[in-house]
């Protein structure tokens, strides 16, 4: 990358970051984390990777805000108007950043496939949650489909959430194809993104049901996966507090990236 490209890249990352801060996709800590992740992806990875990352970032931001008041009423909205903090940005960007570092050393398509898997998992999982919350009936627990759970419960699944999950992987695949992702064919891209996104997001739900920390809000008594609710610290009632939503998301993106590289090597 020459000095002109480097300067342009930094300007692009800063402008998009400031915009996303203005429209409250992220708060100030999320903004700083997004600047770091965005720079690593664009400078060590490449422009195609960066556009795929942006497709996830802005779609996730949009759907987090979609029908926000309704999600807030049922007690399942992201806190603070849906502006994501640094932990959420790192949870969705860490694996992608590590893959970009790998790609910076050896420009192999195996890293590109891994990136598609990590971002598809984040997109599938975020959209399954944010769109799935609009399902008019109660979700079921993924490990026991006879059991109804409150909307927003870790491990809860619904038909609408599953459609949104597949939509997430498809969207990432289509964007990757449009930008001419490292010469992959459309069929290969969609096979990677839909399957790895679906399996990564399903793995996230399973971890959600098995080990993820579940809390109770001391104010409204809601069961939540968030450590704070109604602006108060919640009480742990189930799972391990190390495995909060962000840690579970990070583990799931590793899983999704692994699935994607396995598909890449197989087909």
Binding site for Zn ion (CB under 5 A): 217, 219-220, 222, 229-230
The least distance separating Zn ion from the CB of residue 228, rounded to whole angstroms, comes to 9
Q: In this complex, which beta carbon is closest to Zn ion, that of residue 11 or of residue 220?
A: 220
In contact, 84 and 27? CB cutoff 8 Å: yes
Q: How far apart are CA 15 and CA 169, in angstroms?
A: 27
Pairing of strands 214-216, 232-233: unpaired
Q: In this complex, which beta carbon is closest to Zn ion, that of residue 65 or of residue 229?
A: 229
Q: Count each helix (H run) and each strand (E run) in the chain, helices first.
A: 9, 8
List phi, psi (to 5°) of 151: -55, 135
The least distance separating Zn ion from the CB of residue 36, rounded to whole angstroms, comes to 32
Q: In this complex, which beta carbon is closest to Zn ion, that of residue 6 or of residue 220?
A: 220
The least distance separating Zn ion from the CB of residue 65, rounded to whole angstroms, comes to 20
Q: Quick one: which of 229, 234, 239 has its CA closest to 209?
A: 239
Q: In this complex, which beta carbon is closest to Zn ion, that of residue 65 or of residue 226?
A: 226
Pairing of strands 228-229, 232-233: antiparallel
The least distance separating Zn ion from the CB of residue 61, rounded to whole angstroms, comes to 23
């Amino acid at each position: 990358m020459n000095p002109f490209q480097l300067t342009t890249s930094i300007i692009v990352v800063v402008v998009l970051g400031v915009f996303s801060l203005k429209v409250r996709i992220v708060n100030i800590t999320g903004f700083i984390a997004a600047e770091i992740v965005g720079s690593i992806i664009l400078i060590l990875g490449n422009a195609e990777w960066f556009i795929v990352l942006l497709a996830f970032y802005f779609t996730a931001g949009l759907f987090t805000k979609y029908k926000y008041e309704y999600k807030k009423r049922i007690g399942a909205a992201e806190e603070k108007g849906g502006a994501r903090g640094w932990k959420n940005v790192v949870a969705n960007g860490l694996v992608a950043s590590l893959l970009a570092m790998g790609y910076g050393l050896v420009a192999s398509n195996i890293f590109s496939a891994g990136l598609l898997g990590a971002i598809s998992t984040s997109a599938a999982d975020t959209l399954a949650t944010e769109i799935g919350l609009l399902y008019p009936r109660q979700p079921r627990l993924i490990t026991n489909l006879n059991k109804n759970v409150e909307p927003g419960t870790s491990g809860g699944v619904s038909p609408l959430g599953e459609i949104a999950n597949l939509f997430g992987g498809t969207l990432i695949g289509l964007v990757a194809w449009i930008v001419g992702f490292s010469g992959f064919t459309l069929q290969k891209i969609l096979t990677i993104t839909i399957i790895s996104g679906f399996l990564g997001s399903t793995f996230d739900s399973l971890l959600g049901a098995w080990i993820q920390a579940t809390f109770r809000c001391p104010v409204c008594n809601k069961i939540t996966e968030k450590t704070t609710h109604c602006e108060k610290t919640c009480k742990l009632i189930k799972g391990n507090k190390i495995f909060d939503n962000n840690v579970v998301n990070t583990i799931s993106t590793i899983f999704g990236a692994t699935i994607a590289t396995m598909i890449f090597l197989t087909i």
